[in-house]
Structure 1
Amino acid sequence: MDNQDPKTHKQFAIDCFNQVWDILENKQRSPEDEENMIHICHSSFWHWTRVEDHTQRNLSIGYWQLSRVYAVVGQGDQALRYAKRCIIVGSSASLEPFYIGYGYEAEARAYMVLGNKEQAMASKENATRYLDKVTDKESHQMLANDLMNL
């Protein structure tokens, strides 16, 4: 039974999400940092699922972050698993092209970690098709930059 106030879950979800970004941005991560990052990322996702008014967008972002974390630590299978979940959630909920595009960006990144360059390029092409539909300039540039860095 979950006795936590939903507002507490939301704050934990946000705090954990931001902690993951802090660790991702640290170029001098230790193996312990990377293990903690994985646990914190899962904690963020779990807390989002406990927020009463969470959205499919929240879940899509959570799956994307899980995929990115696993790609960064070299666990391609897990990265691919969460990238595919991100795509499914985004597509099923008809989220904005930005979120679906990021799902394919995550999938491409996971395939790169797995050494499957051909599939990575196909996923990157899918992401680019969604990028072309992103109208917000800042969001467009953010996704474009991540695609260029694949």
Structure 2
Amino acid sequence: MNETEAAVSSHKQIAATCFNQVWDLLEKEVRTPEEQENMIHLCHSSFWHWTQAEECTEQNLSIGYWQLSRVYAVVGQGENSLNYAKRCIAVSEEAGLAPFYIGYGYEAAARACNVLGQSTESRRFKEVAYEYLEKMTDEGSKKLLVSDLEGLQ
């Protein structure tokens, strides 16, 4: 393996490791302020390292933007959350990704609006997410999105 191949492989490994560490923190019931800050840094690190990998696709970007939006919603930073949700939606729609990814972009936007106290906008985004849910064929994916949508106020 040459240096370039090793660097690409390292970027993918670091991205995956950071991504998984973010999930570990998201799954905690209670996080310390330090854990919240680490979660933000890990999420941005994961995203950046994915962008450095040759195989980075629009699907990877969609997932990364979605995770950034979720992290910012969880820590109460609604503006940042909404910004990344909108990026998730844009990259997913522009790339013509499967309804799962677009639906989750709208779920993220609804969640961000909840954090911002924008209930009307949250309901609007949630309705669009449900429209994409109807286009999904994989039952497991549908269950995931339904669960997250039902968890929103």
TM-score normalised to structure 2 length: 0.95
Stretch of structure 1 that moved more, 57-66 or 19-28:
19-28
Over the aligned positions, Cα root-mean-square deviation in angstroms equals 1.2
1:140 maps to what in 2?
Answer: 142
For 1:92 and 1:7, how far apart are their aligned partners in 2? 27
Identical amino acids, percent of aligned pairs: 61
Q: State the Cα distance separating 1:131 from its structure 2 match.
A: 0.5
Q: State the Cα distance separating 1:53 from its structure 2 match.
A: 1.2
Q: State the Cα distance separating 1:42 from its structure 2 match.
A: 0.1
Q: State the Cα distance separating 1:89 from its structure 2 match.
A: 0.2
Q: Is there any run of 5+ residues in structure 2 with no aligned partner, and where? A: none
SS of the residue corresponding to residue 5 of structure 1 reads helix
Q: For residues 1-150 of structure 1, what are the structure 2 equivalents within 5 Å?
A: 5-150=7-152
Q: How many residues matched?
A: 149
Q: State the Cα distance separating 1:5 from its structure 2 match.
A: 1.0
For 2:139 and 2:17, how far apart are their aligned partners in 1? 27
Stretches of 4+ aligned residues off by more than 3 angstroms = none
Q: Is there any run of 5+ residues in structure 1 with no aligned partner, and where? A: none
Q: State the Cα distance separating 1:69 from its structure 2 match.
A: 0.1
TM-score normalised to structure 1 length: 0.97
